[in-house]
Amino acid sequence: MKKAKRPVDPLHAPHETWHTALTCIEPNKILVRGYPLDEIMGRLTFGEAIYLLLMGEVPSPGIGSLMEAILVSFIDHGVTPPSTQAARHTATTGAPLRACVAAGVLGFGRYHGGDIESCMQFLDQGLELVRKGVSYREAGTEIVRRCVAEHEPVPGFGHRFHTRDPRAARLFQMALELEIDGSHIQMIRAVEYVMADRPDGQALPVNIDGAIAAVCGDIGIPPEIANALFIISRVPGIAAQAQEERARQQPMRPIDPKDSVYDGATQRRLPGKRR
């Protein structure tokens, strides 16, 4: 605030410039990472534009395909995730959609989505051992041993619902077909063998968080951007769930996820040309 005679303090220092490298706005011109936004429209998909915005360059076709698959893989997981429940409880109060989405996004906490970043760091520990000459298998054994010693769950493995995560399998298959599987995927594969060898009840399969962590590692996406991708990818699901709550349910209802019944389309296949 402007007041006469006061000691200098940071908020009253002379105006100083600061920098941004994302989007340049000029009258009648919007450049995203240097590309005119109207030229990108119709030429890049939303997934490719997300990569451009976050990483600074247009992705190669292969990386672009993996980006789309990563974003699609998280798009929704039904009514039970706590983030979805937070969004539905906000919706039942009559709140606008953006408030429901914000409440849902806040539920992407340590135990929900945070595994991608943790798993990237976990794999990096293994790869550090590999760089020192240890085999992938031994490195996998060692980093799992460390988790067990610290009573920490192994990040990227196990799922509340699934004993085999179909999204993880698909993502690895795509990476293989696109020849984008590198050391991170090799590392998580090694950990997978270690995890499968554990006694019953402790044997856990790799989950989608783990698969994304490995793929992001191999295509050079740093952990904080992988975290951004997770947030972006689930927003459509949060929005769709909140919108369905608003459209199909009474306001101010008590919501028990266990009482929900699915009444949507039965299982179907994509049209032939899409397969």
Distance, in Å, from the CA atom of 238 to the CA atom of 87, rounded to the nearest integer, reads 7
Least gap, CB of 252 to a copy of itself (angstroms) = 5
Give 94 or 197: the residue with its C-beta nearer to a copy of itself: 94
Least gap, CB of 186 to a copy of itself (angstroms) = 21
Q: In the structure encoding, which two tokens stand for residue 154, read together? A: 């192994």
Cβ-Cβ contacts under 8 Å for 172 (sequence gap 6 or more): 181, 185, 211, 214, 215
CB 91, CB 242: distance < 8 Å: yes
Least gap, CB of 4 to a copy of itself (angstroms) = 10
CB 227, CB 209: distance < 8 Å: no
Give 128 or 231: the residue with its C-beta nearer to a copy of itself: 231
Q: What is the DSSP letter of 25?
A: E
Give 36 or 128: the residue with its C-beta nearer to a copy of itself: 36
Cβ-Cβ contacts under 8 Å for 127 (sequence gap 6 or more): 139, 183, 184, 187
∠ at Cα 227 (201, 158), nearest 5°?
5
Give 20 or 199: the residue with its C-beta nearer to a copy of itself: 20
Cβ-Cβ contacts under 8 Å for 85 (sequence gap 6 or more): 79, 107, 255, 257
Give 129 or 188: the residue with its C-beta nearer to a copy of itself: 188
CB 85, CB 239: distance < 8 Å: no
Kind of pairing, strands 35-36 and 29-32?
antiparallel
Least gap, CB of 142 to a copy of itself (angstroms) = 27
Give 140 or 237: the residue with its C-beta nearer to a copy of itself: 237
Least gap, CB of 6 to a copy of itself (angstroms) = 6
Give 46 or 193: the residue with its C-beta nearer to a copy of itself: 46
Distance, in Å, from the CA atom of 132 to the CA atom of 135, rounded to the nearest integer, reads 9
Least gap, CB of 152 to a copy of itself (angstroms) = 13
First-to-last CA distance in the chain?
Answer: 62
Provide the b/e sequence for 57-80 (b: ≥16 CB within 10 Å): ebbeeebbbbbbbbbebbebbebe
Least gap, CB of 62 to a copy of itself (angstroms) = 11
